[in-house]
Structures are given as structure tokens and as C-alpha cells.
Amino acid sequence: MKITMSFDFLVPQRLHFGWGVLALTGEEVIRLGGEKPLIVTSKGMVKRAGFSELVRLLRDRNMDVAVFNKVEPEPSLETAGRCLRSAKECGCDIIIGLGGGSAMDVAKKVAGDLGLPKIMIPTTAGTGSEVTHEVVLKVGGKKKAFVGEEFLADVAIIDPELMLTMPRVLVASSGIDALAHAIESYYCKRANELTRALSRRAYQLICKNLEKALVHDKTAIYNMALASTMAGMAFGNSGTTLCHALSYPLSNKGVPHGIAVAMTLIPALEFNQVNKELIRKVKALLKATGLPLRYEGDPYEMAKEVMEDERHLSNNPKEVEFEDIVEIYKKIAGGYCEGRDVERRPRT
């Protein structure tokens, strides 16, 4: 497998990882020159203990804390625009993204557009957005990536304590997203020695810990948080491939990102002819999660969307044709990922 011989590697200037590191947030805000932080998050997050604790930590340092809590799942560019206006109105001087990938992506986009320092604090173990310089938002109803160094966090604070209250389905879907990041960043064309080392270790951690994390084992949650961050560092610098390209049209139709990735991961791996033992392990993990793996939509319409995704397809280890994508979507609709072969269904 060809490995890039020269490469750039972008990660936050500082990363704090471990139990209780949320307490370092105020110190980092001060170090970055902030006095008026804006916390960007979701409506659901403000009801959780992690949010209340973060606000307390900041106010204990006499900071004027503002909150934008209108980030929806699979957020739109319009939401980022509303958040940007809120940031200007409150006169904030630093952005803190708290939540899953959606909240962090909106926070990164706003901070990048305003030229403000930013701290990312994930509450799920999956997206890796806290360490990437990529933002994904819906534009005109379709997911679009914005890539640039201005979207890279200054500080990432990964506290597994914040992830202990994730519902099972979120542990599962975010974990599979991290798994896809690890595998795709290992096999993609832009992989290099450093990203592949991170990918490999992230994959090992996920295989050993995802099932235990589903029942909220603390050590497993810790290891999934670590794996997610490592996979984020890997794919943030090498990119993802066919699986993520296939997932976008599903998410555009309302399927949550992690579940969309679960539906497309096995067909993409089989198309790319990766290691059969790896595919066997991934199938076992998918079965253990209990996530839905079937989606019925217009395969031709979705394939057209995928073919426009040059960023992912150009990074795929194998050339992809329109007809290949159509067949993959037909397989997904037929329950292929659930162990049913679409070609064996009785014809009516």
C-alpha cells in the first residue's frame, strides 16, 4: 500500500485528556486571552450536569458567560449564521463548543469566521471534531464540508466523565463513526505513516471496548473517548473515503450521521476489498450495536449526490463508478448489511 512520503499534520496547540480535565477550561480561556466566552451547544445539552459544571467553572473565575443553545442535529449554515450574530451581539472574545460533532462544527465555523480563539469539548466518543480542521454543515439541505486551518481548535478538552450519560444508541452510533474514521483513514490515498499509526491503535481500542461501552463500563468509555480522538487526528489529516460519501445522502434525508455510516460501512469496505478478517470483525460489532442497517431510497438519486463528492471519492483506494454506487444502495435497501442478500429476495 502506497504511503505519502511528505505530509502536513494539523492538531490543536494543546490537548487535555482524562477524568476531570473539564476543570481546566477556565484556565485555558484565560491563557487564550478570553473574558467573555460564548458556549455553543444544543438545547438538550443545557439540561445535563456537564453544562452546568462548565458554566460554574467559568463564572467562578468572574467570566461573563453567554450561551447559544440552538444547534440542531446535522446543523445548517443558517444555524451557524445565527450563532455568529449572537457572538457579535454579546461581544464574546472566545468560543467554546460543547457537545457532539454538530455543536463543535457550528462553534468552529463561527470562531473561524470571526477570527476568535476556540476550545472544543466533546460529550460523545465518535466524531473527533475537537481535533480536526473540518466543519460539516448543511447548505441548501445537503451536507457540505468547509476545510481550513481557521477551523482548528486552539485547545481540545476531552473528559470521559461527560460521556458517561450518553444513551446506548449514541454510544453505538458515535462509536461506529469513530470506527469508520479509523478504517477509512488507514486505507485512504492520503494516508501517511503518522495517520496510519493513529488509525491502527484507534481501531484496536474500538474493537476491544465498544461492546463494553454499550453498557456504560467506565474503562470502556474512557478508551472509546481516546480512540475517537486518535481517529479524529488521523482522518483530520488524511480524510475519509467511500463510506462517508455514501452516508451523506442518507443524512440529507434525516438519518443521523453515525447510523448512516453504520449502514454504508460494510458495503464500502467490501467494495474496496479490504482485509476479510477486518470486515468480519466490523460485522460482529455492527450486530452488537443493534443499530438499524437498512434504508430504502432512490438509489439513482442518491448515487448522483455521491458522484459529486470529489473530496471523498478522490481519496478512495479504488475508483468508483456511478453503477457501483447504485448497486451498493440497492444492497442496503435489501437488508444486505443485516445478513440478507438483496439478490435473493423473491421477485414480485
Select from 141, 163, 185 the last residue of a domain.
163
Q: Are residues 225 and 140 part of one domain?
A: no
- For residue 76, the SS3 value is strand
pLDDT, tens only, 56-90: 999 999 999 999 999 999 999 999 999 999 999 99
Q: What does the longest C-alpha to C-alpha distance in the chain come to?
A: 69
Pair 71, 41: CB distance under 8 Å: yes
Q: Residue type for 179, please?
A: L
CA distance 317 to 184: 9
Q: Are residues 180 and 136 part of one domain?
A: no
- The residue-averaged pLDDT of 267-290 equals 94
Q: Are residues 205 and 67 part of one domain?
A: no
Residue 316's region, left for phi above 0, alpha for psi from -120 to 50, else beta, is: beta
β-pair type (66-68, 155-158): unpaired
Burial 39-59 (b: 16+ CB within 10 A, else e): bbbbeebbebebbebbbebbe
Does any domain span residue 318? yes
Q: Are residues 117 and 257 part of one domain?
A: no
Q: Are residues 87 and 129 part of one domain?
A: yes
Does any domain span residue 3? no
CATH number for the domain including 65? Answer: 3.40.50.1970
Q: Are residues 239 and 216 part of one domain?
A: yes
Does any domain span residue 184? yes
pLDDT, tens only, 204-218: 999 999 999 999 999
Q: Are residues 118 and 28 part of one domain?
A: yes
Q: Are residues 173 and 158 part of one domain?
A: no
Does any domain span residue 286? yes
Confidence of residue 7 (pLDDT cuts 50, 70, 90): confident
Pair 266, 243: CB distance under 8 Å: no
Does any domain span residue 5? no
Pair 60, 32: CB distance under 8 Å: no
CATH number for the domain including 249? Answer: 1.20.1090.10
**Which residues lie below 8 Å from residue 315, measured CB to CB, with a gap of 6+?**
188, 189, 190, 238, 239, 240, 241
| Burial (CB count <10 Å: 0-12, 13-18, 19+), residue 216 | middle
β-pair type (118-122, 155-158): parallel
Does any domain span residue 87? yes
Q: Are residues 327 and 279 part of one domain?
A: yes
Residue 34's region, left for phi above 0, alpha for psi from -120 to 50, else beta, is: beta
Q: Are residues 180 and 286 part of one domain?
A: yes
- For residue 84, the SS3 value is helix
Does any domain span residue 9? no
CA distance 306 to 11: 28
Query: Across the chain, what does the average pLDDT equal?
Result: 94
Q: Residue type for 263, please?
A: M
Confidence of residue 343 (pLDDT cuts 50, 70, 90): very low
Range of the domain at 108: 14-163
Confidence of residue 195 (pLDDT cuts 50, 70, 90): very high
pLDDT, tens only, 89-106: 999 999 999 999 999 999
Select from 128, 163, 198 the last residue of a domain.
163
Q: Are residues 129 and 205 part of one domain?
A: no
Q: Are residues 237 and 111 part of one domain?
A: no
Select from 163, 190, 215 the last residue of a domain.
163
Beta bridge partners of 241: none
Residue 142's region, left for phi above 0, alpha for psi from -120 to 50, else beta, is: beta
CA distance 39 to 47: 14
Q: How many domains does the chain have?
A: 2
pLDDT tops 70 at residue 264? yes
Q: Give φ, ψ of 234 to 5 degrees.
A: -70, -60
Does any domain span residue 257? yes
